[in-house]
Homo-oligomer: A and B are copies of this chain.
Amino acid sequence: MTVDPLAATCPVPLAENERVLLGHGSGGQLMAELLTEVIIPAFDVPGPLEDAAVLDAAGTELVFSTDSFVVSPRFFPGGDIGSLAVHGTVNDVAMRGARPIALSLAYVLEEGLPLAELRAVTESVAIAARAAGVPVVTGDTKVVGRGAADGLYLTTTGVGLRLPGARPSAAAGKPGDVVLLSGPIGSHGTAVLTAREGLGFDTEIRSDSQPLHDLVAAMITVGGAAVHALRDPTRGGLASALNELAAASGVAVEIDEPGVPVPEPVAAICELLGLDPLHVANEGCLVALVAPEAADAVLAAMRARPEGAQALAIGRVLEGAPGRVTARTLVGSTRVVDMVIGEQLPRIC
C-alpha cells in the first residue's frame, strides 16, 4: 500500500495493513492512538502516561525517563540536538518532582557524518549536562550505513531522586487548581522551523530550550504536595499538555487565551503559517496544576528564578467534562482547545 501524505493530517484507524505516518510522532491525537492501540497494550502500564516513571529501588524513590532526539536541523537558534537531548530528559525527570542525578547517552550515527559535527554535538551535550549539574555517566555508539539514518540521532535517559514531599502526577489535578505557566510559549518550534533551509525566515526567535529542574525544586520547596501536576509542553505544545493532564486527571481545564504569553515574533510566524501557538513545541517552560491555597506562593517562587521570571496564572481546573480543555477568548467567548491531530512540525525534538 502507499500512504497518502494527506492522511497524516486526519485521524485514521490503525489496521494491521497500515503503516507508520509522520503524524504518529506528532505529540497529538495520532500519536496517542499509536500509543494506546499498538504500544501500550503490550506492556503492563499502570495508570496514566507520565513524562517519567517512578520506581521503588530498595526504598528509594527513583524517577526514570527516556527520549530519542531526531530534531532537524541539528543546530538551530538557541540550541542544538545535544543541548536539547540534555534539557529534554532533565525536564521529563523533573516533571515527576525529582532531582535528576545522572544521564545516559546513546548515539546512532550515519556513516559519513563529519567527525567535526559529532564533536560539536558531543561538546554541546557535555556543556549542557555540566551546566545542569547532571553528569552523563554511561553511553553507547552505533553506526549505520549511508542512507540508514539522517546523520545522527541521540537517546538520553535520566535517573532522578524524588524531592521530599513531591507527588506530582498527570492524574493528580483537582477542580479548583490554578494553572500556572512558567514562561512564554512557542519559541522552540518556531526557532527550529525558521532554521530549516529554504524557508527564508530571518527572525530573532531562539529556542527556549533550558533545564527546569531547579525551577521545579523551588516550586516543590514552597508547594510540596500542593503541586499536583507538572508537564513540559513539548511536542503538541501547551494544547496537548493541558489535554493530557485534563484527561489523566478526569477534570476540565479552562485557560484565558489572551493571558497566554506568546512573543511577538512567534505570533507573527504562527499567523503567517497558520499555526496555533498553543500547538507549537516548547523545551524550556512548564505548566503546573497547583492547589489554590498554594498557588500564590508557588508562583512567587517561580518568579524568583530566571527560568520562571515571566511565570503567571493562565487558567483553572474545573469540574466538568473530563478531559475537556477550553479557552476564553479576547471577546469573551469560549472555544475548545483540541490536541493537534497529525503532524504540524515534524522532527521538532
Which A residues are closer than 8 A to B by beta carbons? Answer: 3, 14-26, 31, 34-35, 38-39, 42-45, 50, 52-53, 55, 57-60, 62, 64-70, 101-102, 104-116, 118-119, 122-123, 125-126, 129, 135-145, 147-150, 153, 155, 157, 159, 161, 343, 346-347, 349
CA of A123 to CA of B43, assembled, Å: 8
Q: Pick the contact of A157: B50, B157, B349 (CB < 8 A).
A: B157
Q: Pick the contact of A19: B65, B108, B113, B135 (CB < 8 A).
A: B113
Q: How far is the CB of A33 from chain B (nearest CB, A)?
A: 11
Indicate if the CB atoms of A109 and B20 lie closer than 8 Å: yes
CA of A35 to CA of B136, assembled, Å: 14
A-B CB proximity, top 10 nearest: A25-B143, A66-B104, A157-B157, A155-B155, A53-B137, A42-B126, A148-B150, A53-B138, A20-B113, A68-B106
Given A19-B112, A108-B68, A114-B17: A24 in contact with B155 (beta carbons within 8 A): no
Indicate if the CB atoms of B42 and A125 lie closer than 8 Å: yes
CA of A346 to CA of B155, assembled, Å: 20
CA of A58 to CA of B62, assembled, Å: 10
CA of A161 to CA of B65, assembled, Å: 17
Indicate if the CB atoms of A57 and B144 lie closer than 8 Å: no
Residues of B within 8 A of A64 (CB): 102, 104, 137-138, 159
Residues of B within 8 A of A66 (CB): 104-106, 138-140, 155, 157
Given A25-B141, A106-B67, A109-B24: A19 in contact with B122 (beta carbons within 8 A): no
